[in-house]
Structure 1
Amino acid sequence: MAKVIFDIETIGEFEGLDEDSQDYILKYAEDEKKKSDTKRKTALWPFTGQIVALALLNPETEKGKVYFQAPNKKIAKFSENGADFEACSEKEILENFWNDIKNYNQFITFNGRGFDCPYLFLRSAVLKIKATKNLMPPRYSADRHVDLLEQLTFYGAFRKFSLDFYCRSLGIKSPKIGGITGDKINKFFSEGKYLEIARYCLADVRATGELYKRWVEYIAI
C-alpha cells in the first residue's frame, strides 16, 4: 500500500477581512487580550487564513516534497535533505497536493483529522479546486488514514499532547528544536522567512514519520 505523510502550515489574515467579518470574529472578545488571542487564532480557521507551506513525505523511500509560498521573492526549485522544494501560490500548493495525493492509498498525519484535512478541503472549496481523495474515511479505522494523535490517545481515551512532547518523550528529534513553532508562522511569514517555514514543515513530516514507525513497531496490532 502506497503511503504518504503530510502536514500544512497556515497564517491568519484578520486585517484582510471586511469590517463586518472582523466584527463577527471579535463578537465575543470582551477585552484587548481576548481580541489579540482571537486574531491569532485566525490562522486556524480556513475562512480567515491560508496555507503557506505543505510538505509530503513517503515513509518508505524517505523522499519528500515541499510546496511553499514566497511572495515577492524568486526562489528556483531546489532539492535539499531528500526533498524537492517549490515556491508557488496557495492555489498551486493545493493543485499540486491533490495531484500528488492521487498516487497514495494511505495517509499518515498528526492531528490531520482535526486540522489539516478539513483545512485542505475548505481552502480548496474557497479557491475552487476539486479534491481527488477522501482524506476523512471512517474515524475508527487506520486502514486508510493513520492520524497519530487519534492513535496515541486511543481515540480520546487518554489526554492529548503536542507533536513536540510526544517526540521528546519517545527520544525522537523534535521539529521545534530549530527555534520555530506553529504559533510563530505568521511572524516568520511577515518577515519573509519563507524557506525557514518550508524547512520547518518538512521537519514536521519527518518527525511524524519517526513517530509512525514507533507506533507501527510497538503499538499497532
Structure 2
Amino acid sequence: MRKQQYLIFDIETAPLDFDSLSESQQEYILRNTSTDEEKQSKKFEMALSPITAQVVCIGTQLMQSTELGGWEQIGRAAFSVDNEFEYGKKEHIKLSTGDDCFLTNEAKLLEDFWKLLHKYDQASLISFNGRNFDAPFLMLRSAIHRIKPSRNLMSGTKFNYPMHVDLIDELTFYNPSPYSASKRFNFDFYTRTFGIKSPKSEGVDGSMVGQYFNDGKIIEISEYCMRDINATWELFLVWYNYLKF
C-alpha cells in the first residue's frame, strides 16, 4: 500500500504600508468612509486581500502514514518574511518551540513554498478555510511577484476539489448555514469544542499579526503560525478518524 502524505499549511498576512499606495488606491480603499474609526477599519481589512496585503509567514508540516496505521512527521518549518532582506538573502533560526524558521523576503518565501509543493507533489493539502483565503492569497501574491505556482491550489469546484482537505468545508459538510447544524464557526471555537489547544491560548491571534509585523515581532508571528499548524493537524485527525468515509 502506498503511504499517504499530507502537507498542513497556514499563512499569516499583514497590510501593505498604506502610504506606499497611490492616491487613487488610497481613495478607493477609504471610499464612503467619514470617521476615523471607519477609515481605520478599512485599513485593518486590507490584511484580508492579497491586493492590499502581503504574506508574512507560512507554516508547514509534512506527515506520512506508517505501516502500523499511525503517522510520522517528515518535515516541519515556518517560512517568514523580513522586508529588509534583499532577494536571495536567507537566514535560518530556531524558534523557542524547536521548530526551524527560515527568514527571507516575500518573493523568496513564495518561491520556496512552491518548491516544497513541487517536491511533495503527491501530498494532499490540509488547511482551515484554505480554499477561501490561504490558497487564493498565495496564488495572487505569487502572480504579483511574477512567480508561477507549482500547483493550482484553486483547481476543482466549490464542492469537489482534489488533494486538499479544507476542514471548514468538511466540518460544515459543504453546506454552511447561519442557523443549522452545519453552521460555520471560527478556528478557535472548533479547537476548543473538540478539546484541542487553541492557537490563541498564548495571547496572540490573527488580528494582531499586522501590528506585530510592524513592530518587528516576526518570531512571535512564526510561533503563533506553528501553533495554528499543530491545531489544524489535530483537528484533521478528529475528522479523519471519526467523520471521513
Shorter-chain TM-score tier: over 0.9
Instruction: Structure 1: give runs of 5+ residues left out of the alignment.
Output: none
Residue in 2 that maps onto 1:178: 202
* 1:10 maps onto 2:13 in alignment: yes
Instruction: Give the drift of 1:71.
Output: 4.0
**What is the match of residue 112 of structure 2?**
96
What aligned pairs does 1:57-206 form with structure 2 within 5 A after superposition? 57-60=61-64, 61-62=72-73, 63-72=75-84, 76-80=91-95, 81=97, 83-102=99-118, 103-105=120-122, 106-138=124-156, 139-141=158-160, 143-157=162-176, 158-206=182-230
Q: Secondary structure at the match of 1:141?
A: coil
Residue 23 of structure 1 and its aligned partner are, at CA, apart by 0.1
The alignment partner of 2:63 has SS state of: coil
Distance across 2 between alignment mates of 1:75 and 1:123: 19
Q: 1:4 to 1:82 in 2, by over 3 A?
A: farther
Looking at structure 1, the residues matched to 159 and 230 of structure 2 have their Cα atoms a distance apart, in angstroms, of 25
What is the CA-CA distance between 1:134 and the residue it aligns to? 1.5
For structure 2, the residue ranges without an aligned partner over 5 or more in a row are 65-71, 177-181
- Structure 1 residues 160 and 66 mapped into 2: Cα distance closer, same or farther (>3 Å)? same
Q: Which AA in structure 2 matches 1:112? A: G
User: Equivalent residue for 1:19?
Assistant: 23
Determine which structure has more spread, i.e. the larger CA radius of gyration. 2
Say which structure, 1 or 2, has more relative contact order (CA 8 Å, 6+ apart). 1
SS for the counterpart of 2:216 is coil
TM-score (norm 2): 0.84
Residue among 35, 51, 54 paired with 1:50: 54
Aligned equivalents of 2:184, 2:34: Cα separation in 1: 29
* TM-score, scaled relative to structure 1: 0.93
CA deviation vs aligned residue, 1:124-166 (integer Å, no higher than 9, x gap): 0000001101212323236411000111111133221111110
Give the RMSD, CA atoms, in angstroms: 1.9
